[in-house]
Amino acid sequence: MHPYLPTRPTVHAFTKPGCVFCARAKRTLTGEGIDFQPYDVTADARTANASAYFSGAYTVPQIFLGDYHVGSADDLDRLATTGRLAALTTAPHRGDLDLDGHTDDELAHGAADLALSTVIPTSDGTHDPDPQTWPILHMYRRFFGFWPNTFAYLHRWPAAYKLFVYCQNAAAVQAGGQRLGRAVMSEVAYATSRAHGCSYCMTHAVAVPGATGPADPDSATGPADPDSAVGPHEAALTDLAARATRNAVTPQALAKVRDTVDQARHGDGDAQVRMDALTMVVASFGFLNVFNDLVGLEIEGDWAATASARGVTAGRHAVGDTNPRNLDHELPSGGPTLPQLMAGYDELVGDPDAYAERELGFVPAWVRAWPAAQRRRHCHLYVELMRDRPHSRIPADLKHLMARVSAVARDHAYLAAAEGYLAFTAAPDRPDAVARIDRCVAAATGRADDGGVFDERERAALRLAWLSAQVPLVTPRRQVQPTIDHYDADELVELAVVCAVASMVQRFAALTGPAVEPQVREFLTRHGLPTDPLVLRYPLPDAPVSDGGR
């Protein structure tokens, strides 16, 4: 027992019986000599609601050092191993968790899942007069048979709607279908979405024409079934797709894909060609998982029934009666074709390195790693959606800080660094630019003082970015209401897109492993900005802004 234990804050541990992660968290606290007050979330609704109300998550364990939140057993272990848990428990704390200060109704109201779709009106893009959108309608009539509910919200930001399809998803679908095969592309989409917990995307992955159904999730490690659509190579691909979501890609998992390519049962191409296709599909679902779960949109009814028969439930998403019949009318013809639009974006960008240097201030390593055939379009998508543009209402530096917060939450050290530097290049003349980079996670989590460098509107956006990186992603009212209060419907869609772009790049970076760029490293070192995501996630609550929360 540590001699300074009496000065520690009261530790609250929300757990449940039979949970191995909860048991591990309790062992860690006990091993550190930390007394804690246990709360069983299965005991009553009030306790379950309190856990979600204060943490923003429906999973356990949720640990509170006073009112300072630690969100997982893994983080608790790492904090203990590095000695940071001792530092956090002995630092002056601001207060205790005010469990008794809330009524049952207040906790239940604040913990309830509040889908952004309830406050964002849909937009009908199926009759859009813009000829540049018409190829999307024809593509999805062939591919799905309907215009998916995702687009009814994404269409509120027309630039994002077109850019996601033409500069990312169309190429991902084409490469995935050709190089992996439709059935395997669906398995990859299912695996990466299952790891995230997005039941909307899981439903689409198993119900789309050409899907065969989810494979056994243990097929990556078990013996190959000679009659299955999934052999050793396909199992390695789906395992890698799931690992990308969790940011848990290993050299061994990458090697297994390459080592089994001669056993591929679908598609064509060498190992690198298949890996490029995989990264494109996984990146697309990085975008879709986060956007769809943040918005909380309804699953199309017929596909939900198909998915249910294949063992995939709707989860937190509502279900429609049937699939929409929104493409049954005569679609407009004429206008540019899909290949013409994609070629136009390529021509607009030209040399992607020069374009990135001009628009972003440097060439991010992940951009150089993007498959060459799609690199120019990816550059254009990222720049148009993340920098200041006439069609965008959220300031670019705030967007990059949101992406930094998301990267820190997901333990992406490289992207946390890159997005911090991009926030600086977006607003280099701001006198508080470095302080904002330093304190954006504190503003998002409330774990430390942000020094007043953010206003309430910005804090709400940063909090949404933090929430978007949680697995599974849920939207408790207490966490999302400030965002709803400060932003209108179009701005909410833009914020969701920013979070989705961050997730898209995260999954790509997890698979490709880019290194921190020299100019980014020099910038962080010069300003004394920490690079360890654990330190960034858990700043000391009493540290001044200039100390970086270390």
Q: Provide the pLDDT for residue 388.
A: 98
Cα–Cα nearest to 498, from 327, 311, 290, 328: 290
Whether the bond into 544 is cis, omega within 30 of 0? no
Q: What is the DSSP letter of 178?
A: I
Could you give the C-alpha distances from 22 to 17, 41, 233, 413, in angstroms and in order? 8, 11, 35, 26
Cα–Cα nearest to 159, from 384, 471, 421: 384
Cα–Cα nearest to 15, from 29, 2, 25, 28: 25
Q: Provide the pLDDT for residue 247.
A: 98
Cα–Cα nearest to 501, from 364, 316, 343: 364
Cβ atoms of 49 and 60 within 8 Å: the answer is no
Could you give the C-alpha distances from 320 to 148, 297, 298, in angstroms and in order? 12, 10, 6
Neighbours of 452 (CB within 10 A): 11
- Name the token pair of 390: 């006439």
* 27 CB burial (10 A radius; 0-12, 13-18, 19+): middle
* 305 CB burial (10 A radius; 0-12, 13-18, 19+): middle
Q: Per-residue DSSP letters for 122-133?
A: ----TT---GGG
Q: Provide the pLDDT for residue 226.
A: 65
Please give the helix or strand (H or E) that residue 172 lies within, else none: helix 170-175
Could you give the C-alpha distances from 480 to 365, 467, 514, 546, in angstroms and in order? 33, 9, 32, 29
Beta strands at 37-40 and 11-15: parallel, antiparallel or unpaired: parallel
Cα–Cα nearest to 286, from 19, 75, 504, 107: 504
Say what angle helices 433-445 and 456-468 make with each other, to 10 degrees. Answer: 60
Q: Provide the pLDDT for residue 225.
A: 65
Q: Provide the pLDDT for residue 236.
A: 96
Q: How many CA atoms lie within 13 A of 408 on its CB side?
A: 33
Cα–Cα nearest to 498, from 455, 460, 465: 465
Neighbours of 145 (CB within 10 A): 17
- Name the token pair of 470: 């949680």
Q: Provide the pLDDT for residue 266.
A: 87
Cβ atoms of 447 and 541 within 8 Å: the answer is yes
Q: Provide the pLDDT for residue 314.
A: 95
Report helix, strand or coil for 64.
strand
Torsion, Cα 57 61 65 68, to 10 degrees, reads -20
Q: Provide the pLDDT for residue 212.
A: 76
Angstrom distance (rounded) from CA 172 to CA 368: 18
* Domain 5-111, CATH homologous superfamily name and number: Glutaredoxin (3.40.30.10)
Q: Per-residue DSSP letters for 311-344?
A: T---TTS-B-SS---TT-SPPP--S--HHHHHHH
Q: Where along the chain do its domains lie? A: 5-111, 119-135+147-333, 350-547
Could you give the C-alpha distances from 438 to 117, 300, 524, 546, in angstroms and in order? 32, 42, 10, 8
- Name the token pair of 223: 């013996």
Angstrom distance (rounded) from CA 356 to CA 427: 16
Q: Provide the pLDDT for residue 215.
A: 65
Along the 550 residues of the chain, how does pLDDT read in single tens digits? 343 334 578 999 999 999 999 999 999 999 999 999 999 999 999 999 999 999 999 999 999 999 999 999 999 999 999 999 999 998 887 788 999 999 999 999 999 999 999 999 999 999 999 999 999 999 999 999 999 999 999 999 999 999 999 999 999 999 999 999 999 999 999 999 999 999 999 999 999 988 877 865 444 444 556 667 789 999 999 999 999 999 999 999 999 999 999 998 888 888 899 999 999 999 999 999 999 999 999 999 999 999 999 999 999 999 999 999 999 999 999 999 999 999 999 999 999 999 999 999 999 999 999 999 999 999 999 999 999 999 999 999 999 999 999 999 999 999 999 999 999 999 999 999 999 999 999 999 999 999 999 999 999 999 999 999 999 999 999 999 999 999 999 999 999 999 999 999 999 999 999 999 999 999 999 999 999 999 999 999 866 444 444 4
Cβ atoms of 301 and 320 within 8 Å: the answer is yes
Angstrom distance (rounded) from CA 178 to CA 175: 5
Could you give the C-alpha distances from 86 to 3, 216, 442, in angstroms and in order? 12, 42, 19
Cα–Cα nearest to 404, from 341, 462, 491: 462
